[in-house]
């Protein structure tokens, strides 16, 4: 039961449990109306929740949107925002099952709650990485942050259309996450929303391990080779999956047509480092806010 009653009622397949995630999308913090069409802002609002469900190996079921709009925000912007959000919801079989609207005294505030489902006890957690496990990432990194930087510095015309499209309308890696969970391949997993350096630290903290990345193996996104290793390490915005797997697991080079790349290994201790041109240095978590300053 969705919109129209006081609560939504969700039935899960027997033997499944609920996954629940919540994410803010705040104007001028997570998006800028002058850099992105409203449809992209709606798409990315839902994407943030879907990406979290993917990172647990789950299946998204329903979404709840709370939206606060300033009085001067026009109806067309709202319609396009919802179009972008609902198009992505339909693509992944998610129903918008409720929410709330209010008038904001200032900027646009959107909060999305996504509910997913996973077989009981089978969600892939951040805490399963062990020394000797290999580290993998789906897709490529750094493209999102690089495109955002170009948008923010008024160089929209220099962005390759494919790169712009990937930034405005990223695909949540639901199928990849589900395949990794179903085939028992991933020992731990997280989505790269805040940047590889920060998100890898989250896995290491939860698992009580360290990690060593091989700089040369990190797959850089974007056309024209303009993506730097720095933006791949710290940029965020890519919504790919970072996961670990025991050394005896055969990890396919593509899952659901998304390339999968080995980028390092889990080690004893708590230190996270990166080897680059034969030299090893400490890798600090410098994603998201730090990178943006």
> Whose Cβ is closer to Mg ion: residue 150's or residue 191's?
191
H/E element holding 81? helix 75-91
Q: Is 238 in the site for Mg ion (CB under 5 A)?
A: no
Asked if 268 and 131 count as a contact pair (C-beta separation under 8 A), the reply is: yes
Give the integer Cα–Cα distance in Å for 192 and 291. 14
Q: Is 191 in the site for Mg ion (CB under 5 A)?
A: yes
Q: Select from 57-65, 102-110, 184-192, 217-225 the region that touches Mg ion (CB under 5 A).
A: 184-192
> Whose Cβ is closer to Mg ion: residue 33's or residue 292's?
292
Locus of tokens 């805490």:
127
Query: Least separation, in Å, of the C-beta of 125 and Mg ion?
Result: 12
> Whose Cβ is closer to Mg ion: residue 27's or residue 52's?
52
Distance of CA 156 to the CA centre of its chain: 23
Q: Select from 1-9, 185-193, 244-252, 280-288 the region that touches Mg ion (CB under 5 A).
A: 185-193
CA atoms in the 13 A half-sphere facing the CB of 270: 4
Asked if 51 and 239 count as a contact pair (C-beta separation under 8 A), the reply is: yes
- By CB under 5 A, name the one of 52, 111, 163, 238 that touches Mg ion: 52
> Whose Cβ is closer to Mg ion: residue 150's or residue 237's?
237
Say what the alpha-carbon torsion angle 267, 272, 274, 275 is, to the nearest 10 degrees: -40
Q: Is 240 in the site for Mg ion (CB under 5 A)?
A: no
Positions in the binding site for Mg ion (CB under 5 A): 52, 191
């Amino acid at each position: 039961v969705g919109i129209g009653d006081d609560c939504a009622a969700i039935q899960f397949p027997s033997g499944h449990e609920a996954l629940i995630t919540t994410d803010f999308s705040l104007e001028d913090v997570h998006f800028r109306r002058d850099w992105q069409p409203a449809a992209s802002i709606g798409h990315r609002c839902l994407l943030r929740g879907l990406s979290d469900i993917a990172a647990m190996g789950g299946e998204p079921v329903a979404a709840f949107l709370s939206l606060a709009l300033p009085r001067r925000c026009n109806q067309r912007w709202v319609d396009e925002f919802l179009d972008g959000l609902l198009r992505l919801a339909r693509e992944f079989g998610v129903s918008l099952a409720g929410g709330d609207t209010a008038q904001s005294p200032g900027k646009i505030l959107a909060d999305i709650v996504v509910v997913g489902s996973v077989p009981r006890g089978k969600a892939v957690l951040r805490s399963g990485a062990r020394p000797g496990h290999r580290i993998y990432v789906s897709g490529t990194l750094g493209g999102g942050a690089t495109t955002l930087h170009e948008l923010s510095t008024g160089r929209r015309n220099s962005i390759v259309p494919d790169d712009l499209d990937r930034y405005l309308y990223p695909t949540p890696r639901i199928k990849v996450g589900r395949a990794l969970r179903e085939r028992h391949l991933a020992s731990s997993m997280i989505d790269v929303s805040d940047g590889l350096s920060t998100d890898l630290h989250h896995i290491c903290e939860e698992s009580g391990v360290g990690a060593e990345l091989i700089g040369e193996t990190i797959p850089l996104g974007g056309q024209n080779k303009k993506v730097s290793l720095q933006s791949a390490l710290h940029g965020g915005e890519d919504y790919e999956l970072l996961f670990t797997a025991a050394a005896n697991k055969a990890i396919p080079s593509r899952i659901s047509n998304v390339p999968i790349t080995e980028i390092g290994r889990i080690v004893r201790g708590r230190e996270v480092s990166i080897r680059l041109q034969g030299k090893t240095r400490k890798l600090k978590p410098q994603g998201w806010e730090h990178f943006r300053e």
